[in-house]
Amino acid sequence: MDQTHHASETSLSIKGLQLSFGAVQVLNDVNMDIRQGEFIVLLGGSGSGKSTILNCIAGLLDVTDGQIFINGKNVTWDEPKDRGIGMVFQSYALYPQMSVRGNLAFGLKNARLPRDEIAKRIDRAAGILQIGDYLDRRPAALSGGQRQRVAIGRALVRDVDLFLFDEPLSNLDAKLRAELRVEIKRLHETLGNTMVYVTHDQIEAMTLADRIALLRDGVIQQFASPGEIYRKPVNLYVAGFIGSPS
């Protein structure tokens, strides 16, 4: 374990996380210490448990065992809304009857933020994500890439420092995916937020991550920088998944 960092810099800590659906164990002893500002990618094949980890962090699933700490606070049994997390899913899940502006404002209105603060946050997110030109349109009038920008904007306006992204680009075509990958990287560099980003795409993982946690059957195989995981895969599975030279 890395002892060189101060506890206060740890943004997210997962300890001994276990999750079972009935008799089926889906996560087995997942441990991660994530520092403030790190871009972490959870990488693994379909069914390896990536979304389940994210949903546990977000509080959308009850853990079977283990603890989750955010900024040093044990949030394992806190309500999702009290965890200070912004989440983006694979499907855009925008409200179809609301304008883009309405979608961005929705959670903030529920949280009873003052109107001028809401307007300020929407302006800022719109600038960063370049969605200012279609704030008054409905989601149906937008392209897939535009919709996903709005979905990211909804996390952005929450002004939290921990973002969870669950395969946000996997419904987009290759060109848009490459484009938005660059945007997400820029977003992270601009905001300096902590990011836990799920993907099954190793190229996405290699280009975005400070560290990659490679998951197989609910077990982290290796948690290391892209360079280290590529040069020194701990086993054949990791080597095969990453495409390391043998």
Length of the chain, in residues: 246
Give the burial class of 82: count Cβ atoms within 10 A of its Cβ; 0-12 exposed, 13-18 middle, 19 or more buried: exposed
Q: Report the candidate in 65, 63, 71, 69 with the shortest Cα–Cα distance to residue 36.
A: 71
- The least distance separating ligand ADP from the CB of residue 79, rounded to whole angstroms, comes to 20
Torsions phi, psi for 160 (to 5 deg): -105, 165
48 binds, among ligand ADP, Mg ion, none (CB under 5 to 8 A by kind): ligand ADP
Q: Which of residues 45-104 bind Mg ion (CB under 5 A)?
A: 51
43-51, 74-82, 156-164, 219-227 -> range binding Mg ion (CB under 5 A): 43-51
- The least distance separating ligand ADP from the CB of residue 195, rounded to whole angstroms, comes to 17
- The least distance separating ligand ADP from the CB of residue 52, rounded to whole angstroms, comes to 3
Residue pair 220/30 in contact by the 8 Å Cβ criterion: yes
Q: Between residues 20 and 36, which has the closer beta carbon with respect to Mg ion?
A: 20
Residue pair 87/160 in contact by the 8 Å Cβ criterion: no
From residue 49, alpha-carbon distances to 39, 111, 214, 230, 241 in Å are 19, 31, 10, 22, 16
Q: Between residues 27 and 184, which has the closer beta carbon with respect to ligand ADP?
A: 27
- The least distance separating Mg ion from the CB of residue 25, rounded to whole angstroms, comes to 17
Give the burial class of 102: count Cβ atoms within 10 A of its Cβ; 0-12 exposed, 13-18 middle, 19 or more buried: middle
Radius of gyration in angstroms for the set of CA atoms belonging to the chain, rounded to a whole number:
18
46 binds, among ligand ADP, Mg ion, none (CB under 5 to 8 A by kind): ligand ADP
Tell me the per-residue interface mask from 20 to 59 with ligand ADP, x by CB under 6 A, - otherwise: -x----x-----------------x-xxxxxxx-------
47 binds, among Mg ion, ligand ADP, none (CB under 5 to 8 A by kind): ligand ADP
Residues lying near ligand ADP in the complex (CB under 6 A): 21, 26, 44, 46-52
